Amino acid sequence: MKGSMVCRKGVSSDSVTLVAFINFASIDLLETLTQRVTLTVSVALQHNGGGSLQHIRTKFYWIDEEKQLRALCSAAAMAFSSSFSPSYSFPSNVVVHNSKIQSFNSRRHWFSSSLFILHAGDLHQRSALLRMGSISERGRVEPSHSNIFVPVRGVVMDTSKEKTQLPKGDTWSVHKFGGTCMGTAKTIQNVAEIVIKDDSERKLVVVSAMSKVTDMIYDLIYKAQSRDESYISALDVLLEKHRLTALELLDGDDVATFLSRLHHDINNLKAMLRAIYIAGHATESFSDFVVGHGELWSAQMLSFVVRKHGMDCSWMDTRDVLIVNPTSSNQVDPDLPESGRRLEKWLSKNPSKTIIATGFIASTPQNIPTTLKRDGSDFSAAIMGALLRAHQVTIWTDVDGVYSADPRKVSEAVILGTLSYQEAWEMSYFGANVLHPRTIIPVMRDGIPIVIRNIFNLSAPGTVICKPPLREDGDGQSLESLVKGFATIDNVALVNVEGSGMAGVPGTASEIFGTVKDVGANVVMISQASSEHSVCFAVPEKEVKAVAEALQSRFRQALDAGRLSKVEVIPSCSILAAVGQKMASTPGVSATVFSALAKANINVRAIAQGCSEYNITVVLKREDCVRALRAVHSRFYLSKTTIAMGIIGSGLIGGTLLDQLRDQAAVLKGELNIDLRVMGITGSRTMILSDLGIDLSRWREFQKEKGEIANLDKFVQHVHGNHFFPNTVLVDCTADSNIASHYYEWLRRGIHIVTPNKKANSGPLDQYLKVRELQRQSYTHYFYEATVGAGLPIISTLRGLLETGDKILCIEGIFSGTLSYIFNNFLTTRSYSEVVAEAKQAGYTEPDPRDDLSGTDVARKVIILARECGLQLELSDIQLESLVPEPLRGIASAEEFMQKLPQFDIDMSKKQQDAEAAGEVLRYVGVVDVIKGKGFVELRRYKKSHPFAQLSGADNIIAFTTSRYKIQPLIVRGPGAGAQVTAAGVFSDVLRLASSLGAPS
């Protein structure tokens, strides 16, 4: 009888007969102490005396007794009735006809069919027609291919020829409230107030289930399938959540009505979950029906609350209106024409001007309950907005709008005022918390704007997603208006199929992606060079193994023959997308993106930029993703240029620099958009670290109270490992050669360096050349202006001359502020030792004055300048005249040196007197003779008219003799010693770094 036509005589033309074929499948007497039978139920509908059978199969375990079989049929009928449309109640006189059961005599046995006919009684015209499948105009039941026992959805059948015109257009506004908005009784009350205050003539409000309820119901299904009996207690928790919310919101008949419906639904769910528990399985259709209850309850509650405030309001089960067609990609396509017809019929029977509708749920063309999948409530709102031609769709959520980047990764991300549909589409595809891409499709056609608003911050205007202006004047567009935002996709892998045999061979790409399709993997991005030598594409990392194996298998012959060289997998990648209206057609935007990435020392593995002009996509290492996001975001002035700083050396120069940073921080943020975050300060013994930035007004206090044992490796890792900041700079304020030895490794890791430490650039030549070569090959910056003239622009002046093509002939200068002071004050009336003691007391010298008088510091500066000019000199190559008397060079202490220094005043006084007699002065200078390729540090005599004789105090002076400045050298003069000017020189380098990384210059 299975599959045959059933005609029951005596049934009127307005009757419906529900036919159930009970097929005994098997039993297992050993499963329990009771005999249990597996039943397959086939259900068919017979209308107007005819119709094809609809078979919907599921497994039930039932005790082998005829009365239980009768009860099964009655229960099935009542289960059907529970899901009929509200306008129809299943007749109470359901009877079971032709009940039949056969005996069995073995432990496992197959049985023939028994027929049960449940006569549903007479139905009047224009009542709800129950059907499974799609009834044509002639009443024929079209077969469905579903294999699940599904509650039948009620369908309103209107036989009247009169048509009611549905009012559409600007009179309608559509609102959507997500689970967070419907999370508690208080937030539901807030939602009701927003609905009531909306002065639109007509309103349709789409609501999600209460917060976490959908996940709770999915968990119920999972537990039932796993035969975990805790689903019962979890269902009670679900009941209690809604019961308590209703009691807080409603009163009187409203609360009684709602609780009655709630208990009825919970009882049905309990029975359904029990069936799932027994069978150990639930199909997608069954799960979709169960999981949609959260929206039913929240919509009913909100409708009661709105009516409680005196507003006429109806609630809509959108399964009666929205018709969707499932696709093969676990999505659904809305049937807008059919949905529009059903909406008109629904509104003709429910003329309220305020409608509370369920989100997320819908029906198939066969009226089988389904869902719009995740983010389905937004989709519901967009579909309803399109059907009604609403003037606006407002999506209420818990954020102020759409951000220019993920605010969890970029703390300075800003709210975007407007987005085009395409921009929103692109950003949502790449993981931005905007809307699901499909949500935008229904409203784009009619140009209906979507507004993203924050229910918890009504003062925020939100983000408007709409059509872009018809005409845009590109002349005045800024980078901000061209690039709206940035988004990322994590956990992807690149697959690279490469080989010379691919070039010019038609169908290769088709075979590659056909193979990927057969695996069921999702291709996120594709990049192919015009040479056709390789095809590179990104897939989710969890799918890459299957993709690689399938490609290896498919192209095994080509790989063995050498036509393909490899199928390569590059794991642990992320995708970064820059999104903006027509940015790709604007010169400089792409260059700015890649420049920002390069300057953050981030390598790009693959690039994709379509001609749609909305998206530039790059693939990079996963560990670089957040830093890359912050780098490009910062570069486009959507936030401050933020640099994480680590200060090494908290002595005189380091401490002074920290004080200068403290005093200037507000100005830098306010005027230059530069945010310098000192993440760590370390001395030789202790260090302090911070995740967000050290309060520089109290850093000395923190160092004493909270300092931990200094560890350079830990310090560097902390400063550089903080991915919330795209750029890291280490400022070495020491004179330690051991610290300088780490520069190469730090630069290689993408850490910028700023320093007044001369040891690196004047150290071993091979190490210097290695560091400079690395610097030239990367976008990692190494600034050392303060190594030669403290705050004076000596290095930058020299580079400017060289880079503009000038030829350096000689550099000569007084490079030591200490020795400048000594010889500016060494007159015939004073002794040499007296002036040295005065300089030491004034703080111009090192604790041991021999460090200055030896001339080594000047020699290091000469080496630095010589190497900048291209001379490959070692420190030992410098001809050095020391001002420390030979007998005093080996004395142990500085105090003893100072005591014995007066014994040698005669020699120095003699030199001074001879110079004075010749109308000259003594000056201790460093010289770079570029023509001869040599360097000197010595005591020289200059005419009193010479610029070097005009110095005062501790000033430095440097003269550049070049091809352009040959007759009159280019002179740089100013203070060249002291903590203030040296720290200022370092600070200037930090700001130069910020400018090169994207800050306004």
Active site residues: 861
Q: Which amino acid, 525?
A: M
Q: Where does residue 569 rank: exposed (0-12), middle (13-18), buried (19+ CB within 10 A)?
A: middle
Amino acid at site 334: P
- Taking Cα atoms as reference points, which of 770, 731, 775 lies closest to residue 750? 775
Q: Kindly write down the DSSP assignment for every residue of 31-47, as one continuous string.
A: TSSS-EEEEEEEEEEEE
C-beta of residue 307 within 8 angstroms of C-beta of residue 195:
no
Residue position matching structure tokens 């820059």: 578
Q: What are phi and psi of 767, to 5 degrees?
A: -70, -40
Q: Do 346 and 304 contact (CB within 8 A), yes or no?
A: no
Separation of first and last alpha carbons in the chain? 86
CA trace torsion 106, 108, 111, 114 (10° rounding): 100
What's the rounded Cα separation, in Å, for the pair 999 and 274? Answer: 64
What letter represents residue 112's amino acid?
S
41 close to 22: Cβ distance less than 8 angstroms: yes
Q: Which helix (H) or strand (E) holds 925?
A: strand 920-929
Structural contact between residues 971 and 958, judged by C-beta atoms closer than 8 angstroms:
yes
Q: What is the three-class DSSP state of 646?
A: strand
Task: Categorise residue 493: left if φ over 0, alpha if ψ from -120 to 50, beta otherwise.
Answer: beta
Long-range contacts, stretch 453-456, CB < 8 angstroms, 24+ apart? 453/394, 453/395, 453/396, 453/397, 453/401, 454/396, 454/397, 454/398, 454/399, 454/400, 454/401, 455/177, 455/180, 455/181, 455/187, 455/190, 455/191, 455/194, 455/396, 455/397, 455/398, 456/398
Beta bridge partners, 535, equal 497, 528
Map tokens 């240029």 to a residue. Answer: 641
H helix or E strand, kind and range, residue 206: strand 202-207
